[in-house]
Structure 1
Amino acid sequence: MRFDTENDPEVLRQAALLLERENQKLAKKIIELTAELLALKGGNPEQLKLRIAELEQQIAQKNRLLFGEKSERRGGDEQDVPPTPPKPPQKGHGPKAQPSLPIVEVVHELDEADKVCGSCGGALEAWEGQFEESEEIDFVPRRFELKKHKRQKYRCRCGGCVETAPAPMKLFEGARYSIDFAVEVATEKYCDHAPLERQVRKMRREGLLVESQTLWDQIERLARLLSPGYEALVRHVLSQPVIGADETRWPLLGKNEPSRWHAWSIVAPDAVAYRILEGRSSAEAKQVLGGYEGVVMCDGYAVYKSLAKGENAKTKLAHCWAHVRREFIEAEKSYPEATKAVLGLIRGLYAVEAECEAGAAGDEKRRALRENVSRPIIDRIQEFATTTAVVPGSSLDKAIQYMAGMWSGLTRFLVDPRVPLDNNHTERAERGVVVGRKNHYGSRSKRGTEVAALFYSYVESAKLCGLDPKAYLRRAVMAALRGERIALPHEVAAQG
C-alpha cells in the first residue's frame, strides 16, 4: 500500500490499526529479548525490573505520539470533579453578522427590452418600494496611489508677504511614503506575520514597485518614534503585583553558529512586553525582571529561581499547575490508575477557579473558596505524592519529583487570590511571536530584534485590550509626531 497516495479514510484507519497491533507485538518481543539479554549477562532482578519499566515507558510514549490524541483535554471520568453541563445543540450555521462593514445598496433594473408584460404585451412599470433583497459580501481590491500635493501659495499685492498652505504630516522630512503606508507595512509584518519580501510581491501585483529595504526603512522609522511608549509599556507591566513570564527561541540570522537568542515575555492582565536577548541565562533574566517587586508566575526553569534567591530578593515565584498536569499526562499511559487520581484532583482545582469572576472583582470569593475547597485538594495531592510507590526513574516518579521541586510556588495561590493557577495566559500571549518566528525565520540584525520586540509589544497589548492593532498604531504614531505622550493600549481602552 502507498500511504502517500491513498485517500480512502477507512483503508487508512484499518492500516493504522494493523500497524498499531504489529507495533505492540514488536514491543513485547523487544522487552522479552532485553530480559533474556540481561539474564545472560548476569544482571540482578532489580536492574531487570528498572530496564523493563523504562522500555515500557518509552514504548508507551511513542505509541501515544503515533496513535494518541494531541490535545491535553481529558475525559469526564476523573474523580472529585463536577460534571460539565452539556452544550446546547447547534441550530445550524446562519449568516454571521457584520456590524463593521459599510453597506452599499445596489439596485438591479430590467433592460428596456425586458420591460414588456408577458400576458398582454403592455409596458412594465417600476413597483415603487418593492424589491427582492439578498446580501453578498464583496471584495474591494486595495489600491496604491501616487499623491501629488500642491500647496497653494498666497501673496499680498503690496509684495511684503507670501504664505504657503501647510504640508500634510509626514513620517520624516522628505518622506515619499505616507504614515498610513508605514503603519500598514508594520501591521502586516507584526500582526499578520507577512515577511517584507512577501509584502513586496503582493504590492507588485497591486501595481506598486518597491524594495524590501524601503519597507524596512518605514517600520524602523516608526520604531524610533514609538520607542518612548514601548519603554513606558515595559514599566507598566513591571509595576503590576503579579505578572507572567516565559521565553521562546528567536533566531538571529546571518551567523554561522546556532542562534541562542530568545524572546522574553512579561505579561500583565492588560499588557504584554517583550525583550529579545542573546540567550536565556540568569543574566538575561535579570535584564528582564531584575529589581521586580512582586510575584512572577513561571515554569520550573532554573533561571527564575535565581531571581528569588537571597535575603534581599523581592521577587517571589508562583508555579504553573498546567505544567505539572502535563507531566502526569506524560505518565498516564504507563500508570493510568495513579495518574487518574491526581489528574482528577488537579481538575478539581480548576473547577473551583471557574466559580469565581475574573479579576479583582472575584478576589474575595476566590480567597474564601481556595481556603475552604482548594486547600483540602492540595493536601490530598501532597498525600498522593508522599505515599504513592513508584519505580525510580519512571515517568510517574519524574512527574512527582517535578511537582515536589516547585511545591512552594505551586501553593502560593492559596494565600494570594491574585495569583492564577497557571501561566497559560503568558503562553497565549506568545502565539504572535511564535507564528511570526515561523514566517520571518527570526531577525537579520540586532536592531531587527529590537524593532520586533517593540512592535509585538504594541500589537499584542492592543489585542489584549480589545483594540484594532492598526488603528492603535496609527493613533500612537500621530501622537508621537505631534510631540505628545503616547497613550498605552490599556489607557486607550479605558477611555472607550
Structure 2
Amino acid sequence: TYLSDLVADQQTTIRDLRELMFPASTEKTEAVLKQAGVEPTPKPSSDKAGAEKPKAQKQTAGHGRNGAEEYRNAPRVQVAHASLKHGDRCPGCQKGKVYEQQEPWRLVRIVGQAPRAATVYELQTLRCNLCGEIYGADVPEGVGEDKYDDSAAAMIAQLKYGTGMPFYRLEHLENNLGIPLPASTQWEIVEEAAELIKPARDELIRQAAQGEVLHNDDTSMKVLSLRRAIIEEAGERTGIFTSGVLSTREGRKIALFFTGRQHAGENLADVLKRRAAELPMPIQMSDALSRNAPKPIKLLVGNCLAHGRRQFVQITPNFPEQCRHVLETLGEVYHNDQLARERGSSRIERLHFHQEHSKPVMDELHRWLDTQLKQNKVEPNSGLGKAISYMLRHWQALTLFLREPGAPLDNNLVERALKKAILHRKNSLFYKTLNGAEVGDLYMSLIHTCELNDVNPFDYLTELQRHSEELGAKPAEWMPWSYRDSLVRPAC
C-alpha cells in the first residue's frame, strides 16, 4: 500500500508521516509561511492589475449564512395581515394610509424529516358468511402498483453515492425511524433504477467528448471481484482505479467516473472517441503523470499549476525564503485569475489579461528558477532542487494559460470531483463487483453533474425514472440543464 511504501522509503521524514496522518486544513500561502516561521511579504497598497477592492458590505444582523431566498425548494406561505389591507387608514397616526411594501418580512422555520416515508393502506375486506366470497375495497386513486416509488430509488442513490453513506448504515438509520429497508433491498432498488436511466449517462459521455477543456485524474479503488481475478490471473496490471473526467463547454460542466483497471488517460481516450471530427483540438488539464495522457490522441496539454506549487509547500519548513518567493509569485497569478473571473471576462479577454499581468511575473519566476540550478545555488538532489526541476521540466504545460484561451491554471475541478469516489472508499471500503462499481459510477456522474450545474439531483433522478421511455428516445432533451423544459413540453 501507499503508506507501507512511504514508511519503507529512506527519504521519508517524520514530518512527512505527520502531515499524511494530520494534513493541514489549508495550503494558503500566508498559513504555510507562518507555519514555517516566515512572515509573508507586505502587500503593496496599489493593485498591480489596477483593480479596486469593493468596500465590505455590512451584514444585516439576524439573517445567518443563508437568506430566505436560498431555500429554493421550501414551500412559500403567504400570510396576510389580520386587520389591515392595502389602502386602509393608518391605525397609528389616524391620518395616512398604509400601502403594501414590495418585500415582505420573511421567517424561515426548519423541521426534520426521515429520508424516506412509507404509507400503509388498510383496505377493508368483506366476506359472505354463506358462499365465502370476499370483497375488498378499491385501491385509492394515485397509489402506484410498485411498492417502491421512483423517489425512493432517487433518495437511496443520493445518500449512497452523493454523500457516501453505506447501505448498512442507511438500513440502521431507517430501522430506527420505523421504515425497515434491508441493505440488499436498497441495492436491488438502485440497480433496477440504474438500468432505466443509463441513457442519460451515455448522453453525458457523448456531450463531454465535445468539451473545450477536459480535466482528468484518478484515485485508487477496491473492487473485490477484480482483486480475486488479479490474484488468479497474475496479469501485468494489478491496480484498480476510479478515474474522473470533467468536461467544460459553454459554461456547463460534466463529471464522469469510471472504475476498473484502466488509468485516467485510457478512460479519457475512450471518451474522446465520441468527439465530432470537425471540432478543434481540446485542452487537456491533468498533473504531469504519463498515465493521464490519452495515447495516441494529440491534445493541447496543460499541467496543474497547483501540483507544481505543492512541491514547494511541502518543503517550505526546510527552505523558507526560497519557497516564499515562489509561493507569493504564484499567488499573484491566481489573484489575476480571480480578478478576470470577477470581471466576467471572456476566454479571449482572460487570456489577454494574463498575458499583460501574469506573463511578466511568470517570466521572472522562470529566470529565478533557472538561475538557482545553473549557478549551483541549490543542490539538484535536495527537496528544493527537485521542486525547481519539476517546474522547469513541465514549464510549457504549466503555462498553457498564457497561450491558449480558456486554459485553466490547475486541475482542482476534477480533484474535487474525485472526492465523491474517495468518500465512498472511506465509508464503504470497496465495491463487491464490477457491476456494482458501474452502478456507482453512473450515479456519481449524474449527481455531481447536477451539483456542478446547480440542479437538484434528487428531483432529476426521480424525473428520469418517471420518463424513462422519453429519455431512451431523446436523451439529449433530458440532461440536467434541459430536463425541466422537457417536463413542460407537451407530449407528441
Is TM more than 0.5 here? yes
Q: What's the counterpart of residue 263 of structure 2?
A: 280
SS in 2 for 1:267: strand
Q: Displacement of 1:177 after TM fit?
A: 2.0
SS in 2 for 1:489: coil
1:385 aligns with 2:369: yes
Q: For residues 268 and 343 of structure 2, what CA distance do their matches in structure 1 show?
A: 27
Report the AA paired with residue 456 of structure 1. Answer: M
Moved more, 417-426 or 138-147: 138-147
Q: Displacement of 1:176 after TM fit?
A: 3.2
Report the AA paired with residue 244 of structure 1. Answer: H
Q: What's the counterpart of residue 263 of structure 1?
A: 242
Q: What's the counterpart of residue 117 of structure 2?
A: 143
Structure 1 residues 247 and 368: CA distance shift in structure 2, 3 A:
same
Q: How does 1:216-235 map to 2 (within 5 A)?
A: 216-235=187-206
1:364 aligns with 2:348: yes
Q: For residues 274 and 43 of structure 2, what CA distance do their matches in structure 1 show?
A: 41
Q: Displacement of 1:266 after TM fit?
A: 1.0
Q: Choose the corresponding residue for 1:243, options 200, 214, 223.
A: 214
Q: Displacement of 1:387 after TM fit?
A: 0.2
Report the AA paired with residue 362 of structure 2. Answer: I
Identity rate, percent = 23
Q: Displacement of 1:104 after TM fit?
A: 7.6
Q: Which whole-Å deviations, capped at 9, do the CAs of 1:198-241 have from their partners, x for residues lacking one?
A: 22222222333333222111111111111111111011111112
1:72 aligns with 2:27: yes
Structure 1 residues 237 and 288: CA distance shift in structure 2, 3 A:
closer
The answer as to whether partners of 1:294 and 1:314 remain within 8 angstroms in 2 is: no
Moved more, 284-293 or 363-372: 284-293
Q: In angstroms, what is the RMSD of aligned CA positions? A: 3.8
Give the TM-score of the pair, scaled to structure 1.
Answer: 0.69
SS in 2 for 1:248: strand
The answer as to whether partners of 1:267 and 1:273 remain within 8 angstroms in 2 is: yes
SS in 2 for 1:490: coil
Q: For residues 412 and 135 of structure 1, what CA distance do their matches in structure 2 show?
A: 47
Structure 1 residues 413 and 182: CA distance shift in structure 2, 3 A:
same
Q: For residues 285 and 196 of structure 2, what CA distance do their matches in structure 1 show?
A: 32
Q: How does 1:40-59 map to 2 (within 5 A)?
A: 58=13
Q: For residues 65 and 252 of structure 1, what CA distance do their matches in structure 2 show?
A: 24
Q: For residues 149 and 299 of structure 1, what CA distance do their matches in structure 2 show?
A: 62
Q: What's the counterpart of residue 322 of structure 1?
A: 306
Q: For residues 281 and 68 of structure 1, what CA distance do their matches in structure 2 show?
A: 25
Structure 1 residues 417 and 196: CA distance shift in structure 2, 3 A:
same
Q: Choose the corresponding residue for 2:148, options 166, 177, 190.
A: 177
The answer as to whether partners of 2:217 and 2:264 remain within 8 angstroms in 1 is: no
Q: Choose the corresponding residue for 1:410, options 378, 392, 398.
A: 398
SS in 2 for 1:246: strand
- Flag as ranges the 4+ runs of structure 1 deviating above 6 A: 62-68, 83-91, 103-106, 164-170, 493-496
Q: For residues 61 and 474 of structure 2, what CA distance do their matches in structure 1 show?
A: 49
Q: Displacement of 1:245 after TM fit?
A: 0.8
Q: For residues 264 and 341 of structure 2, what CA distance do their matches in structure 1 show?
A: 37
Q: Displacement of 1:460 after TM fit?
A: 0.1
Q: What's the counterpart of residue 298 of structure 1?
A: 286
Q: Which consecutive residues of structure 1, in runs of 5 or more, have no partner in the other structure?
A: 1-53, 107-132, 151-163
Report the AA paired with residue 280 of structure 1. Answer: H
Q: For residues 390 and 205 of structure 2, what CA distance do their matches in structure 1 show?
A: 31
The answer as to whether partners of 2:266 and 2:292 remain within 8 angstroms in 1 is: no
Q: Displacement of 1:352 after TM fit?
A: 1.5
Q: For residues 385 and 410 of structure 2, what CA distance do their matches in structure 1 show?
A: 22
Q: Which whole-Å deviations, capped at 9, do the CAs of 1:251-286 have from their partners, x for residues lacking one?
A: 113545797221111112321111112243765554
Q: For residues 412 and 353 of structure 1, what CA distance do their matches in structure 2 show?
A: 13
Structure 1 residues 59 and 444: CA distance shift in structure 2, 3 A:
closer
Moved more, 482-491 or 405-414: 482-491
Q: Choose the corresponding residue for 2:318, options 309, 331, 334.
A: 334
Report the AA paired with residue 479 of structure 2. Answer: L
Q: What's the counterpart of residue 479 of structure 2?
A: 488
Structure 1 residues 336 and 316: CA distance shift in structure 2, 3 A:
same
Give the TM-score of the pair, scaled to structure 2.
Answer: 0.70
Moved more, 287-296 or 208-217: 287-296
Structure 1 residues 176 and 272: CA distance shift in structure 2, 3 A:
same
Q: Which consecutive residues of structure 2, in runs of 5 or more, have no partner in the other structure?
A: 1-9, 31-38, 80-105, 125-137, 232-237, 276-280
Q: What's the counterpart of residue 411 of structure 2?
A: 423
Report the AA paired with residue 223 of structure 1. Answer: A
Q: What's the counterpart of residue 18 of structure 1?
A: none
